[in-house]
Structures are given as C-alpha cells and as structure tokens.
Amino acid sequence: MKVYIAEKPSQGREIASVLGCTKSAKGYMYNADSIVVWCFGHLIEMADFSSYSPELKKWQLSILPFIPQEWKYVPKKDAVEQLKIIANCLTKASEVVIATDADREGELIARLVLNHCNYSGPARRLWVSDLNPEAIRKALSNMKDIKEYDNLYKSALARSRADLIAGVNYTRACTIVYGSSNSIYSIGRVQSPTLRLVVERDLEIEAFKANGFYTIKGYFVNTLLLDNPIEANWI
C-alpha cells in the first residue's frame, strides 16, 4: 500500500482523484492500493524554550543566549487527531510518497510528521506545483528517493531554528533591558529588519521637501554632413 502525504485537504483530493482514490474516510481518501492522507499545514512545531530547562521559565540575562543542543518537537494542540490518522495510515504503508508543496517548507512539514510517527520505511518525493491532472500524472512518473531532498529538509530546519534562536533570545534580552512588566519588545530575524525598512521609508516621506528642478536644453550640429550641416534643437 502506497501512502501519499499531502500538505492540505484540497491538494490531497486532487492527487487522490488522479490516483483513483474514490473512497473517503475521516482525514484521508483511498482505494485498493493507495491512501492519500493530508496535513493541515504544520502539524508539528518546536517546543517552547521553557520546556528545555526550569531556568528558562524565568526571563533573565544570565542564561542568555540559549541554544538547544537537542531540539524538541511537539504536536500542535489542534493537530493531535489528524496525526493519529496519519500514523494509522503509515502502519499499512509499503512505501510513503511525500506529496506536500514543492518547496522547502513543504519538505519540512512532511519530514517532521514522518519523524513523529517513527516511520523508517522506503519513501519517495512527488514534486509538483501545478495540481492539474496532467501535471500530477507527469510528476508521478518522475518521483525520486527522498534522500535527494535531504538538503532541502536541512535548510528548512536551519531556517526555522534560526528564527526561534533569534526571536526568543533577542526578545527576552531586549524586554529585560528596555521593557517593563507591562510590555514585551518583540524581535524577529525577519520581522525586525523588515520593520526598520518600513520605518525608514515612513521617515523619508515625512521629511520630504519639494525642491526646484531644471530642464536641460541642448543645441546640436550634425558635423558629419560638412557640405550641408543640419542644425537641430533638442529639448
């Protein structure tokens, strides 16, 4: 039995239609030899920093920066039921096909689910962005082993971990130094530089002063036609 893991229900149904999976159950579709089950975006998330150590439950500069040596992942609260459905489908799998979005984040979503369900069997990647039937059929005939996408998965892990390390450590440090009991200084690897760009642009607009401008007028002579020069004014 091949088990296809899609990123969202609509994507799963399109793939199921091409595979001929016409039977429906809660959280997946199937036929005699295939199951298409889906996520709802991210079902697994990184554990809160406070779960790593009792010290981290208090915001204090002395323990910053904190960088986990082993990363913890936990199911999202609203994803527990669907994860159980996926895990049950995986018990029937002779092969898994990752059919999440064809990008870095899609790879991360599926790999975290497989890790959570302790799946270690054979797996391939369905790489398709256009969900029309012809594109899906073409992608189904060109699937590759997921090992060829390991670097994509690792880059997604690096991005998500960098976000958390920067966000948590800088937010705690800035709040302790500049904040108060009633305010939190939220800092993010992406949000903070982006916010600065927006603020700088707003300040430029506020400080704008109209200035005079000049029009250039040129007078040209065609010296190539020496016997009969042609003169022209250009503005």
pLDDT value, residue 38? 98
- Coil, strand or helix: which one is 37? strand
pTM equals: 0.83
Peptide bond into 68 cis (omega under 30): no
Is residue 42 within 8 Å of residue 75, measured between CB atoms?
no
pLDDT value, residue 75? 97
Rg (CA), the chain: 29
pLDDT digits (tens, 9 = 90+) for 36-73: 999 999 999 999 988 999 999 999 999 999 999 999 99
Task: Give the separation between CA 99 and CA 102, rounded to whole angstroms.
Answer: 8
pLDDT value, residue 182? 81
Q: In the chain, which residues have pLDDT < 50?
A: 232, 235
pLDDT value, residue 226? 54
